[in-house]
Structure formats: C-alpha cells, structure tokens
Amino acid sequence: MLIGQLTDTHVVADADTAEHYVDNNARLSSAVASIVAEAPALDAVLVTGDLTDTSHPEAFATFRDTLASIDAPVLPLPGNHDGRNATRRALPDVGWVDAEHLSWVHDVRGVRVVGLDSTRRNYEGAEFDAVRAEFLDSVLAEPHDGATLLAMHHPPFPSGIEWMDDAGFVGLDWFLEVLAAHPGVVDKIVCGHLHRSVTSAVVGVPVQVGISTVQHVALDLVAGSDPALVFDPVGYQVHRITGSGMATQVATHTRFIETGESPFVPDWAADYDPTAPVVTSER
C-alpha cells in the first residue's frame, strides 16, 4: 500500500497579489507529473492543507485541474489558507462530514485514512474542539482490522521554530487525550504547515511533517529570530504501509523534484550482494 502526500501547494489565482517567490502552480504541476509516474502506482494521494494561497475560486479550479491526471483517489484537507466554505464549495465530492469542520474518513485498500480538519477560523494556528473531539473519538472507537493513518494540516507538537509555533494549537491537550484513549489504533500522523520535513511522536504515535512544493521554512531554532524562508529541494512524501495489527509499519520516503538530478546505476551494482561478508582493510 502506497499513499502519496502533497502539502502546502499554495495554488494561486491571477487575481492574487501577494508576493510569491517561486511559480507555485508550476511546482505543483511538476509534483503531479512525478506522482503519475510513480512505480508502483500510488493507491491514494493526500493533500494536507494550504491547497490554495487565498481561497480564490480560480485557484481552487486550478488545483482541481492540476490534480485531475492522478489516477487514484485524491484526499484533500483544508489548511489555514483555505476557507472552509470555499473549500467545501470547490471540492464537493471529497466526502466531508456533516459538520462545520471539514473532516472525513476513507478506506483505501483496507487502510483507514482519517482526515482531521485542524484549522481555526480566521487564524493561522490550529484548533481541536468538542465537535472534532467527538468525531475523532467515535472514528477511532470503530473496530478496524487494518492500519489507521491520521492526516491533518497542523503538526500536534511544537517544532522549535518559534515564529511558526507562536500561532498556537488551541485544544492540543484535548487532542492528545483522545489519541491516548485509543492506544495502538493510529499507526502514524501525517501533516504539513511547516513547509519542511520534521519527525516527532505524540503519546507514542509517530508524526511526520511533509515538505511543501513551494519554498520552505528555514531551520532556525534561535528564540526571537525573524521569519525566514529557504529554497531547499521541494517534493512530496510516499508512505509505504505494510502489515496489520502490531506488525503494521509505515515507512515514509521523500521524493525530491526539480533537482536536475536523475537516478543512475553504479558500476558495482551488477556484482552487489547485500548478504556477502563485508571486507575491510582493518588489520
């Protein structure tokens, strides 16, 4: 089972006037072309928020058109740049829950993928409230034989990049309590928002933050630093899910795009035997 993850694509419309540092839409097109070429083919593609830059209807139309060539279910979530009403209008077939928040649950070849809307209306930070607590608690309480992947936009932990963390996560303790009430149910949490790859864990659940297809947030762990961006290689994640129950494993790979580099087969590949003893010059 292979599930791709795009995040923070920030698709723009012609009417958007904010400063952009790269061609957001072209970067997404490159990532989609790579996703379509993945072998083995992906079973689904998550898009964990900030689908657009300003929620402009034209940007949502471009987002839909760009991802149309993906021959697998596309499962988007809103980010803090995506208005809930605009997202629901633009993407009516996602299977949103019948609630104000834009969450969903999908089964992808036996893997339960739970999309949790972590957005806080009119704020950049995250929120987990009573309605979402009821939703998540009821979903995780449902018996399921396969793996469970929880997708959300905001990471449920502080990154140490102060200017990103300062937006806050209202109800984070409540979110962690719901997770802890269902030990061993969620195999991995995948999210976005930070525009860079970060790995952590909360209440024993591994968390993976995906990389953006646009510019990245610079790694700066000095308190009080100004916001800083960096042009690191961009791309997307591929989550390889194997096994079930206690034997479930979720291995996350990063596919970089637009690096100008291609894979090559080294000269020693034909004779490579990973089971052979290692010969060293040690005396």
What is the pTM (predicted TM-score) of this model? 0.95
- Cβ(218)–Cβ(34) below 8 Å: no
Q: Cβ contacts of residue 45 below 8 Å, gap of 6+?
A: 3, 4, 5, 6, 35, 67, 70, 72, 73, 74, 75
Determine the longest span between alpha carbons in the chain, in angstroms: 70
Q: How confident is the model at residue 90 (pLDDT cuts 50, 70, 90)?
A: very high
Question: Residue 76 pLDDT > 80, yes or no?
Answer: yes
Residue 264 CB burial class (10 angstroms; 0-12, 13-18, ≥19): exposed
Mean confidence (pLDDT) of the chain: 95
Question: What is the tens place of the pLDDT at every residue in 215-251?
Answer: 999 999 999 999 999 999 999 999 999 987 778 899 9
Question: Residue 19 pLDDT > 90, yes or no?
Answer: no
Give the span between the Cα atoms of 74 and 90, in whole angstroms: 14
Q: How many CB atoms lie within 10 A of CB 234?
A: 23
Please tell me the least confidently modeled range out of 60-69, 212-221, 265-274.
Answer: 265-274
Would you report the helix, strand and coil content of the chain in percent, each value rounded to 5? Answer: 25, 25, 50
Q: How many CB atoms lie within 10 A of CB 203?
A: 15
List the domain boundaries for the chain: 2-271
- In the numeric block, which tokens belong to residue 107? 């089964």
CATH 3.60.21.10 at 2-271, yes or no: yes
Closest to 200 (Cα-Cα) out of 164, 238, 252: 252
**Residue 48 carries which side chain, given as an amino acid letter?**
T
pLDDT of residue 108: 96
Q: How confident is the model at residue 279 (pLDDT cuts 50, 70, 90)?
A: confident
- DSSP per position, 102-123: --EEEEETTEEEEEE--B-TTS
For residues 172-194, average pLDDT: 97
